[in-house]
Amino acid sequence: MNGCGNGPTVIGSTCGYAMAMDASNSVAASYRHVRRISRRSGSNFYRSFWLLPKPKRQAMCALYAFARTTDDLGDCAEPISLRTRWLDWWRQTVAINLIGEASADQVFLPEGLVPEGTSAGTENWPIDLHRRANEILPALRDSAKRYEIPSRYLLEIVDGVLADQQKTRFDTYEQLEHYCYLVASAVGLACLHIWEYEDPIPTSPAIDCGLAFQLTNILRDVLEDAQRGRIYLPRQHYEQHGLSEDDLLTPRPDDRLQCLVLDEVTRARRLFDSGWGIWDSLHPDGRPMFSMMWRTYRQLLEQIAESPRTVALHRVRLTPGAKLGIVSRHFCPPLFRRLPVPPWELGMSETEL
C-alpha cells in the first residue's frame, strides 16, 4: 500500500506523483545541464549571459533552458492536441516543483504523461520530457528561490505557448498585448529578478520592454509566420491600411504593407523608450546584459524601418558587422562606459517617420 487509497503507486510521499531522486538531479548537475542546453541552442543571447557574474549567469541559463524547452514543445511537428497535452503536463510539473515542498534534489513528475499500460517512457519522443524535467527543474527551482522569482512569471511563460497552440489571429491590439505579455514580458520580469533592482520593481517599463522586443520579432517574422498560417499583427491595424487576412498570409512588398509596418515601428519605438526606464533601477552588474539586449532589438527595429517592405521577402537580420559592434561595445568595459545613456535612439518615435 502506498498510503493513497486505491490511487497509483508512487515513489515517495506525494500522492499522484512519481518522485525522481538521484545524483543526476543534484543542483550542481542541473546547472551543468542548463548550461549545455543554453550553449547548444545557438541563441545570440547566450553570449550576453557572460556579462553577468557567475551566479546570475547560471540562473539565466536555468531560465533560458526552461523557456527554450517550453518553446520547443509548442513548435514541434506533433499534432496540436498532443502538443497541448505535453504543455499541460509541463506546466503542472513546473508548478508542483516550484510551489511544493520538494527538497533541492527532488523532482516530482505528475502521472498521466505516458498512456497507462505502456512500459515505454518519453526517451524516444521529440523531447524527452521526463529527462528534461530532471535536468532543468532543480536549477530552475534553486534560481527562483535565490532571486525570489515569482512562480507566476514562469507559469505565464508556459501559458503563452499554450495560447499559441489555439490562437493564430488577433482582432485587437489589446489581445496582442496580452499574448506578448505572456511570451515576452513575463520572461523579462523573471530576468529583472535575476539582474536585481532597487525597489520598487519597475514593472511597467519591464512589461513595455517585453512588448517592444516581441513586436520587433513579429515584424521580423511576418513572412515566416505567414508560411505557418499565423498572423500576429492585429486585424484592427492591418484593415486600417486596406489589407486583408489573405494579404498577410501571402504578403507582398507594396505601399499598404509598408505603411502598416511603419505604424508598428512607431508603436514599438514608444515601447522601447518606456522600456529603457528599467536602467535606473537595475543593479550595476545587470546593466550590461540589459543594454546589450535592448540595443540589439532596437537596432533590428531600425533596420526594419529603413526597408519596411523587405519583411514580405525574407526574415530581417542584423549583419555580422552590426552584431560584432554590439558585442564588442558591451564586452569591452572602456567601450561600454562610453555608450550613450540614455541611448541616442530614445525619442525617435516623435521625431522620425
DSSP string, 176-226: HHHHHIIIIIHHHHHHHHHH-BPSSP-HHHHHHHHHHHHHHHHHHTHHHHH
Rounded to the nearest integer, the mean pLDDT of the chain is 89
Q: What is the structure's pLDDT at 20? A: 53
List the domains of the chain with CATH numbers: 16-149 (no CATH), 167-353 (1.10.600.10)
pLDDT band of residue 353 (cuts 50, 70, 90) is very low
**What is the tens place of the pLDDT at every residue in 20-34?**
545 455 999 999 999
Find the helix or strand (DSSP H, E) in which 109 lies.
strand 107-110
Q: What is the structure's pLDDT at 337? A: 94
**What is the tens place of the pLDDT at every residue in 68-96?**
999 999 998 889 999 999 999 999 999 99
Q: What is the structure's pLDDT at 17? A: 55
Specify the range with the lowest mean pLDDT, choosing from 2-6, 185-189, 335-339.
2-6
Q: What is the structure's pLDDT at 91? A: 97
At 126, phi and psi to the nearest 5?
-55, -35
CB-based contact 183:157 (threshold 8 Å): yes
Q: Mean per-residue pLDDT for 189-217?
A: 97
**What is the tens place of the pLDDT at every residue in 306-333?**
999 999 999 999 999 999 999 999 999 9
**What is the tens place of the pLDDT at every residue in 125-150?**
888 999 999 999 999 999 999 999 99
Cell numbers standing for residue 182: 505572456
User: Given a cut of 70, is residue 272 above it in pLDDT?
Assistant: yes
